[in-house]
Structure 1
């Protein structure tokens, strides 16, 4: 207990330090457009950081890049301590003074937005408005000086300044754009967020950023037209802003932006997926457009994203071992992979899957239904036919002449750092169709807690809505194929299943799941943690060492290449070459640091896999000579765990009546399913009369 208290204190201190650094960084954003910054602060910063190693790029990195990377390293240490403190969270009273912060405030239009999210978004918009307005005021003061070198009217010069500030404000949005899509982020978990739950922030920021960048480009085209300087559109200035690079970047962004339109994204997902890779060219030409110095403002978020993306690339090169599949009558399959015992994940985690025989480029996320505690050597996902990719996968696996081996690659798992389900007296889990998948992982974890650890768990009511009775077979997946505990479990689980398109029980019996076994391949490996058991410390080392390598390379380059030209000639060193070399240094630094950490952990994972295979073979031999008790345990009926299963035909659940009738003082309401279902439940939980309901939406759709 003393050790746990010390760890909790250290985590609190880390959070406080990260908050102070972040507020300091935000203060720099607030101060930057003011006269105080340019007339006072900037002069002192330039004097303090005057160096031939980094030049003007140095103070910008000191103000905007270094603080965020420092917070990311602090986040890694924080997450490592969270992982170490693995004691089960006992049921406790939630802080009633702050529960309103997570209460749904908006349920339509922008998605389900709680009070905290609305407040933060409002503050961000206020920051953008302040940044834009004060920058315009500051730039208008420069108009008389600019008029001395320009043969144009005052209003035209002001028009030019407004166009410039519009693009500069877009850079503010771009700065935060990549944090939500960094899957292995050490910053989001400190805020209690996951990458999956933060996608909506990425969407909001993307729309605002592209709106500002599009207006920036349009305003400059108008400006060049009214000043008879349309030839500026084809100008690539090596020592100032490159217009062509900006136009290429904008075209890439527009192509990417257009395909995010919901109808295009849903009906032509592959087009949406492939055009999203244009972000690479968007960023490259964006840096060449504005110069690396100013780009360092948005660098930290993108820097962390590149590290995450490269680690995902390294993991995706490995072929993982697919052990078996369960085929259900409702065109749904459960894939069971081999995993190392050192790989731990929390309920509701997701994993991205690629099957090269179907598509070499497409990666699709699926919720993990297994529990890393209950099933130490296997990982399961449920896949329902809802598109061409999943249809092809189902046909390959379920066909009578099913192949005996299927090559699969994965990225992940990704998920919340910890869960708080045990804090509630009761859990009401509401699912629609395949939305039941995350709840299977929660139930399996609670089975482990109550049956193995003998800890008290909340009462559970699972409300599942299905279209047809054949989908009831998904309920058979609540229990894993093996490692099912004995019937001495004291889990209070009640299932209310609603079949909406049938009015009575079908005459034909629902087929039991069919299990298909796959043969092992010598090239396949169990799913293992990419950076080993101490993955967060490894990530901290990668962030720190890669940035140090980058600074060393940048210092040498600036000292011996850039500085001599800038100081000894009347012509400055090419902005294009400087930006290109900086991007090269960043990529080189990340590749070296990440590859070293990945390869070292790959060797450790290989050793663990050999030990695991040896133990499995010994266990298999002993089980073959046993009296068959294990077989009886695996065939344990689902009724031994579930208190009751009620099937309702031809009706939909009355969510308002069900939720308001729950009398426990703390009720966790978890919803996973169609958008309208999530909105309806959120609206009920937002009522003032539902003070005991704590809403949480589990959604992996955009």
Structure 2
């Protein structure tokens, strides 16, 4: 038996009691987090009202205003602290959830599907893509919040504009209203900015609480980004018109010592417009590298935005960006080290499987994603790929499949498929990132529909089910139907990747109810010649500087992340309080001098980055020492366990798993699958339908599942495209 295979025993009565207690604690934490979230959301709703501005805010400021934080203390308390509290406590919540994940696999009754109707696609075609009922509901509520805020601000502020008040400023009423309208557009845009960075925080502890992943939430970032730039562009245009019509265009060159800086705002807007222009689908697809590199302008955008409005006002938008900076720095630290690439499997059709060495403590769920950088191709470009391996089935390896669709992937394929392949490839990896848990065990039948390389997310699911079906956990695995469409018969070799490169007792696929329907769309009949190339294995030489891929914060990564968020924020508060009290406060209360708003914002940004870098570096260094000792133990325990070309050959040609896989495959030539007939013909009380691949295919499957012809189909779209 493989030393890496984990056999999990049924829980005893004492362990069951502990698990019940953990479930109760988790439920209590969920209630607390939900209460804090709703309270924070309520403050955003009340912010535009006169009640908030005239009654609530002055009262809060009177109790929080001090020589240490000033007016900044109120906004930190109202807007920053609740979200960071959710993020920190959410880490503990997810830590319990990770420990209890196997219990949910045991309780796979196929009956418990809360909010199943709301999770069905409500919109299939249109600018928003495939949108479920829950997503549509939250999107409508978010738009309602923006409309409510804009209308309330407009009503309250326009009511104060009168001919006499405008005359005092030497303006007409319409000019004052144009000035106010520009301000209101900026205020509403700030609400969007407060949510912009949550979806792109890959190691977020906030998204999993709501059952979301970063890759699955990219569309929310796109939606919010378009809305943000619409409001900020309108905000800038209004002020340009206002200055031009009031013969005050010189305001464009003003960088005030206190208050709002116009120049910083203009620079932020220019950086935002450059990013926005390259995000439109036609430009992004045709000039991806332009889109990729231009998006780094977010750094300048945020710096100049903070200098534009000041750090005190920015604390309302700080939480999502704070969590993003924590995540980005952890990713930076993880990417500094080369990961050992053990082997590669070269397939026809410009497809590769890369196998990395990983630590035994690195665990991840199916549908996880890693980001890969190959300095030999590009030192800056990072590309996401679905993890096809399973951390239970393959304890010491992590695998991804790379399809040569773009220039970067084609160059990688050429490097590894040449007659004299390279002996070593420098590779850096970020991740893996994935769902905190999966619900595939709660269904009677699992139908997976893929097109081309869209099959790669399903390989990890099949391997997970393969492992569960071969362990004594008394866990009933669902019946699996894989419907795959390929252009050419040479692409059928991708089905061979379902089996791991090294055969183990747990990789016996015969115990899994697996049915594979493969469709070759561009060939009418099978080829009779044997000229089609098969799989070819490449083995790389190890290098002393290469490390095993491991979680950047170790096995208890959620607890470490919670510690980093909480500790760095507390130290940030202490340092900014000290600086304000003993450096800024004396200058502000000197009648001859006032401390610059921009300099104060710059100091706060530097302190924030310093606190995050210091605490995160300590946490990573501590876990790096633990990972290094574990890697040495594994190397001493297993010499040469990574496999060899001969072991690969034996697994491919002689193993029973390969024979069982071949028996499960039915190949159809000359057409696309009749998805409507196949999906509606599936029997079972609860059927999970997963679609991955081209947009057209995913939309077709979504339309079938939401048509109302069958109420037992539960649809989920898997898309990792930007």
TM-score normalized by the length of structure 1: 0.97
Instruction: Confirm or deny that 1:496 pairs with 2:511.
Output: no
Q: In 2, are the aligned partners of 1:487 and 1:641 still within 8 Å (CA)?
A: no
Q: In 2, are the aligned partners of 1:495 and 1:642 still within 8 Å (CA)?
A: no
- Give the distance between the partners of 2:237 and 2:278, measured in 1 at CA: 20
Pick the aligned partner of 2:602 from 545, 568, 580. Answer: 580
Instruction: Confirm or deny that 1:209 pairs with 2:228.
Output: yes
Q: In 2, are the aligned partners of 1:492 and 1:643 still within 8 Å (CA)?
A: no
Q: In 1, are the aligned partners of 2:510 and 2:657 still within 8 Å (CA)?
A: no
What secondary structure does 2:338 align onto?
A: coil
Instruction: Confirm or deny that 1:665 pairs with 2:682.
Output: no
Q: In 1, are the aligned partners of 2:198 and 2:204 still within 8 Å (CA)?
A: yes
CA RMSD across the alignment: 2.0
What secondary structure does 1:91 align onto?
A: coil
| Partner residue, 1:92 | 109
Q: Following superposition of structure 1 onto structure 2, how do residues 131-530 of structure 1 map, counting pairs within 5 Å?
A: 131-144=149-162, 147=166, 149-453=168-472, 455-485=475-505, 487=508, 489-509=510-530, 510-530=532-552
How has the CA–CA distance of structure 1 residues 631 and 152 changed in structure 2, closer, same or farther, with 3 Å as cutoff? closer
- Give the distance between the partners of 2:322 and 2:488, measured in 1 at CA: 47
- Give the distance between the partners of 2:649 and 2:676, measured in 1 at CA: 46
Q: In 2, are the aligned partners of 1:484 and 1:636 still within 8 Å (CA)?
A: no
Pick the aligned partner of 2:139 from 116, 121, 132. Answer: 121
Structure 1 residue 453: deviation in Å?
3.6
Q: In 2, are the aligned partners of 1:368 and 1:438 still within 8 Å (CA)?
A: yes
- Give the distance between the partners of 2:719 and 2:369, measured in 1 at CA: 11
Pairs aligned (count)? 700
Q: In 2, are the aligned partners of 1:318 and 1:409 still within 8 Å (CA)?
A: yes
Instruction: Confirm or deny that 1:32 pairs with 2:47.
Output: yes
- Give the distance between the partners of 1:314 and 1:284, measured in 2 at CA: 22
| Partner residue, 2:118 | 101
Structure 1 residue 354: deviation in Å?
0.3
- Give the distance between the partners of 1:397 and 1:248, measured in 2 at CA: 44
Structure 1 residue 7: deviation in Å?
1.5
How has the CA–CA distance of structure 1 residues 620 and 226 changed in structure 2, closer, same or farther, with 3 Å as cutoff? closer
| Partner residue, 2:591 | 569
- Give the distance between the partners of 2:488 and 2:269, measured in 1 at CA: 47
Structure 1 residue 94: deviation in Å?
3.5
Q: In 1, are the aligned partners of 2:449 and 2:691 still within 8 Å (CA)?
A: yes
- Give the distance between the partners of 2:397 and 2:656, measured in 1 at CA: 19
What secondary structure does 2:378 align onto?
A: coil
How has the CA–CA distance of structure 1 residues 627 and 343 changed in structure 2, closer, same or farther, with 3 Å as cutoff? closer
What secondary structure does 1:143 align onto?
A: coil
Q: Deviations over 1:384-422 (max 9, x none)?
A: 110110000000011111110000000000000011111
Structure 1 residue 514: deviation in Å?
0.4
- Give the distance between the partners of 2:590 and 2:180, measured in 1 at CA: 32
Instruction: Confirm or deny that 1:112 pairs with 2:133.
Output: no
How has the CA–CA distance of structure 1 residues 52 and 498 changed in structure 2, closer, same or farther, with 3 Å as cutoff? same
Structure 1 residue 568: deviation in Å?
2.6
Q: In 2, are the aligned partners of 1:494 and 1:642 still within 8 Å (CA)?
A: no
Q: In 1, are the aligned partners of 2:342 and 2:642 still within 8 Å (CA)?
A: no
Q: Deviations over 1:26-63 (max 9, x none)?
A: 11111111111121111210111021000011101100
Instruction: Confirm or deny that 1:597 pairs with 2:619.
Output: yes
- Give the distance between the partners of 1:634 and 1:535, measured in 2 at CA: 40
Q: In 2, are the aligned partners of 1:213 and 1:250 still within 8 Å (CA)?
A: yes
- Give the distance between the partners of 1:453 and 1:516, measured in 2 at CA: 35
After alignment, is 92-101 or 236-245 more displaced? 92-101
Structure 1 residue 563: deviation in Å?
1.1
After alignment, is 627-636 or 25-34 more displaced? 627-636
- Give the distance between the partners of 2:508 and 2:572, measured in 1 at CA: 58
- Give the distance between the partners of 2:278 and 2:565, measured in 1 at CA: 33
Instruction: Confirm or deny that 1:697 pairs with 2:714.
Output: no
Structure 1 residue 261: deviation in Å?
1.2
What secondary structure does 1:335 align onto?
A: strand
How has the CA–CA distance of structure 1 residues 96 and 347 changed in structure 2, closer, same or farther, with 3 Å as cutoff? closer
After alignment, is 87-96 or 676-685 more displaced? 87-96
Q: In 2, are the aligned partners of 1:668 and 1:694 still within 8 Å (CA)?
A: yes
- Give the distance between the partners of 1:276 and 1:297, measured in 2 at CA: 23
- Give the distance between the partners of 2:195 and 2:418, measured in 1 at CA: 46
Unaligned runs of 5+ in 2: 1-15
What secondary structure does 2:554 align onto?
A: coil
Unaligned runs of 5+ in 1: none
Instruction: Confirm or deny that 1:647 pairs with 2:664.
Output: no
- Give the distance between the partners of 2:647 and 2:255, measured in 1 at CA: 80
TM-score normalized by the length of structure 2: 0.94
- Give the distance between the partners of 2:539 and 2:165, measured in 1 at CA: 75
Structure 1 residue 156: deviation in Å?
0.8
Q: In 1, are the aligned partners of 2:680 and 2:710 still within 8 Å (CA)?
A: yes
Instruction: Confirm or deny that 1:612 pairs with 2:629.
Output: no
- Give the distance between the partners of 1:678 and 1:632, measured in 2 at CA: 32
How has the CA–CA distance of structure 1 residues 620 and 186 changed in structure 2, closer, same or farther, with 3 Å as cutoff? closer
Q: Deviations over 1:512-556 (max 9, x none)?
A: 210000000000001001001110000001001110111111001
- Give the distance between the partners of 2:323 and 2:114, measured in 1 at CA: 35
Q: Deviations over 1:449-505 (max 9, x none)?
A: 001346321111100000000000101111011134365841010110000000000
Q: In 1, are the aligned partners of 2:110 and 2:441 still within 8 Å (CA)?
A: no
Structure 1 residue 92: deviation in Å?
1.7
How has the CA–CA distance of structure 1 residues 639 and 580 changed in structure 2, closer, same or farther, with 3 Å as cutoff? same
How has the CA–CA distance of structure 1 residues 11 and 526 changed in structure 2, closer, same or farther, with 3 Å as cutoff? same
Structure 1 residue 640: deviation in Å?
1.9
After alignment, is 132-141 or 109-118 more displaced? 132-141
Q: In 2, are the aligned partners of 1:500 and 1:650 still within 8 Å (CA)?
A: yes
- Give the distance between the partners of 1:373 and 1:53, measured in 2 at CA: 51
| Partner residue, 1:551 | 573
